[in-house]
Amino acid sequence: MPKHQRGSRASQAATSVASDEPRVISFTSPQALTKAIYESNDSECDALYYRCYKRWKHRFRRYYPAEELLIIAVTTGAHEQLHINLYLDIRFEISKMGLKRHWASSGAATFTALFGGSEGEADSSGSLFTPGEGHTEWPNLIVEGSHSMSLEEMRRHMTWWFEASDHQVKIVLLVKADGPSTIIIEKWQEPPRLERAGATTTRASSRPNPQSNQVITITRILGNNNPHLTESYEVTSGGALRLEFEDLFLRLPGPGEHDVITENYDLQDIAMRVARA
């Protein structure tokens, strides 16, 4: 099809959008796009049509208003594999306990900090869901992955989740690709807050800093020439990933319920899928 015909057809498609469908905007700059998105950020609008010469592979990850800083996640295939398979493994283990309907996945939904106006979205996230009542306001579990971002910068975002949610977030998992053949998973939690007798209850921002309670390293076996086999990788430190039931469901486990464990073989499989992406 000639180029001018393709352009004409695209124009016709854009102008034929029904009145109850998302409005069409012309892409002029990242700043203009950001402005249009935030002007449409309400519960009744979850899409915009915008015309540009190529598709942008990105999501808005974090916005810090005090610094006027917007951080964008570039959603390559390898980036998505870093987080999505780990989250799906966790959700599968939850389902095996018969708790599928008591867990709500929130994906990359945007959350606005309860204090300060900053905003952020995870790569994957989920929360306790109570039939008849709904899910918790903030996710209990956050998973974020990166290839190019340093662990130090990822830890800054980890801290944001605990503080922005006023400590409703309970577990943050950071999944970092450290070079072509190593993946590091850090599990972060906040230590319990010790209540002092007679102390006045205040906002929980005075809690101790989050702690890394488990660090897992997955590496490709030296000398292995096939990166597309699960058996080509091994968990060299940290063991199987364990997520405490109480932090996921905000209660003690009942009969047949237990901590959620992602075994070594599943962690090795995640490394293989990242290499294959």
Give the pLDDT confidence of 140-181 residue by residue, as tens digits. Answer: 999 999 998 899 999 999 999 999 999 999 999 999 999 889
* Tokens linked to 80: 């998505």
Burial class (CB in 10 A: 0-12, 13-18, 19+), 274: buried
The residue extents of the domains of the chain are: 76-195+203-276
Write the pLDDT tens digit of every residue in 226-251.
999 999 999 999 999 999 999 999 99
Residue 163: C-alpha distances to residues 28, 106, 174 (Å) = 35, 19, 16
Cα separation, 129 vs 250, in Å, equals: 11
Residue 77: C-alpha distances to residues 110, 234, 258 (Å) = 21, 22, 33
| Confidence tier at 73 by pLDDT (50, 70, 90) | confident
What does the pLDDT read at residue 175? Answer: 97
Residue 203: C-alpha distances to residues 79, 157, 262 (Å) = 35, 20, 34
Residues 6+ apart with CB under 8 A from 170: 140, 141, 189, 190, 247, 248, 250
For residues 139 and 125, is the Cβ–Cβ distance under 8 A? Answer: yes
Residue where the block lists tokens 């987080």: 83
String of b and e for 233-245 (b: at least 16 CB within 10 Å)? Answer: bbbeebeebebbb
**What is the pTM for the complete model shown?**
0.78
Mean pLDDT along residues 251-260:
97
